[in-house]
Amino acid sequence: MIPSVLPTYNRAPLEFERGEGTWLIATDGSRYLDMGAGIGVNALGHAHPALVAALGAQAGKLWHLSNLYRIPEQQALADALVEKTFADTVFFTNSGTESCELAVKMARKYWYDKGQPDRVNIVTFSGAFHGRSSAAIAAAGSEKMTKGFGPLLPGFVHLPFAAHDAVLSNAIDDTVAAILVEPVQGEGGIRPLPDPCLKGLRELCDQTGTLLIFDEVQCGMGRTGRLFAHEWAGVAPDIMMIAKGIGGGFPLGAVLATEGAASGMTAGTHGSTYGGNPLACAVGKAVLEIVGAPAFLDEVNRKAGLLRQRLEGLVASHPDVFDLVRGVGLMLGLKCRVPNTDLVQAGYAERLLTVPAADNVVRLLPPLNITEDEIAEAVARLDAAAAAVTRKEAGA
Ligand SMILES: Cc1ncc(COP(=O)(O)O)c(C=O)c1O
């Protein structure tokens, strides 16, 4: 019999009832160290007092107001994002997937309005993940996500990850509207796109007029130690998708764009019932005020250095379990020599939560305000989990 919750997830048999910072408390009272943060969502951990206060204050005033009216909280968050980024304008969504939908529509409409209606293709890269809607799975293109869901939305061109310059420049012709890329692939196995590649993409787009879309749903909002990951490479996109961390756990996403890239999106061309609602935007503003502060990002970098260093040590002491550590800031991946899911499972026994990713990687995406002690504890628990996996492999 089909479960009452549609079984599209292989769920771990863990049930949590509350959270405190980097800790999740299970229904049996046991405490788990959360190094996954809801797959990079709980940027400030669980039940952060400033976010609880922002949500509570807004909940007592107004929950929902249609986009037929001006929403002061939405305006305030849009102003703050515009001030802190390359963008001139923002549309709020409820998820990364919805941000992907709009980014694709925006790029196509831009060229349509420029009198080039055939310029519709979006170039993407293998290992990409942009969400689960029809456009987002067509964008990623992998068999795992698309099989059985045809006919797929046309207009996506898939290139190898970090494609050689020549492959990429040959792919850009007058049918291409935009290049869509994650500066650091998350689901794809924590694979950072090297800075020269990001710079090269920007140059190619500048030469050809092609729009550059960054998907910073997972790698954005302070995760890599800069407010947005592309800032490390010193290049800016024309359009950017965000979600996850911006809401700190409340569903919120957005598309940020330059005035030029957004020029086709006039009144009536797009909309959302809930996107930019007062509750989400009140929380988003509180998150941005904390995460966007330079001193906070300095701390993220300091702690990221500490975690990275300890993980390098962990890899060195378990060469049979781990191959290497990679990633940027507090978006780190342990590429495994054993099945990554074995390590994630062994972590549960140590009351440690991590997240598997493609390419046999275990992801670490802790709350950005994780403490030094919690970093030490996480590495100690990973060490114990790795030892347990080694014993299991040896048949002990
Ligand atoms: C890079 C990236 N883009 C898009 C998405 C889709 O976001 P959502 O699950 O909020 O729709 C995700 C989700 O994991 C993601 O990591």
The domains found in the chain, sorted by start residue, are 16-34+294-393 (3.90.1150.10), 50-291 (3.40.640.10)
CB of 188 sitting under 6 A from ligand 1: no
CB of 97 sitting under 6 A from ligand 1: yes
Exactly one of 215, 250, 285, 322 is catalytic; name it: 215
pLDDT the model gives residue 169: 80
pLDDT the model gives residue 393: 87
Q: What is the number of other CB atoms lying within 10 angstroms of the CB of residue 42?
A: 28
Summarize pLDDT for 92-117 with one digit per residue, the tens. 999 999 999 999 999 999 999 999 99
CA of 44 to the centre of ligand 1 (A): 18
pLDDT the model gives residue 75: 98
Cα–Cα distance measured from residue 155 to residue 153, given in angstroms and rounded to the nearest whole number: 7
pLDDT the model gives residue 395: 85
Exactly one of 34, 91, 238, 244 is catalytic; name it: 244
What is the mean pLDDT for each group of 10 consecutive residues in the chain (396 residues)? Answer: 97 97 98 98 98 98 97 98 98 98 98 98 97 98 96 96 76 95 98 95 96 98 98 98 98 98 98 98 98 98 98 98 98 98 98 98 98 98 98 86
CA atoms within 13 A on the CB side of 117: 0
pLDDT the model gives residue 168: 82
CA of 136 to the centre of ligand 1 (A): 9
CB of 223 sitting under 6 A from ligand 1: no
Mutate to test the pocket of ligand 1, among 132, 145, 218 (most ligand atoms within 8 A of CB): 218
pLDDT the model gives residue 166: 67
Specify whether 244 is catalytic.
yes
Query: How far is it between the farthest Cα atoms of the chain?
Result: 68
CB of 187 sitting under 6 A from ligand 1: yes
pLDDT the model gives residue 164: 64
Summarize pLDDT for 159-187 with one digit per residue, the tens. 998 776 767 888 899 999 999 999 999 99
Exactly one of 129, 228, 250, 322 is catalytic; name it: 129
pLDDT the model gives residue 40: 98
CB 320 within 8 A of CB 393: yes
Which residues on adjacent β-strands are paired with residue 361? 335, 357
Tokens standing for 319? 């060469």
Q: What is the number of other CB atoms lying within 10 angstroms of the CB of residue 254?
A: 32
Look up residue 193 and give its DSSP letter: P
User: To which residue do tokens 């503003």 refer?
Assistant: 285
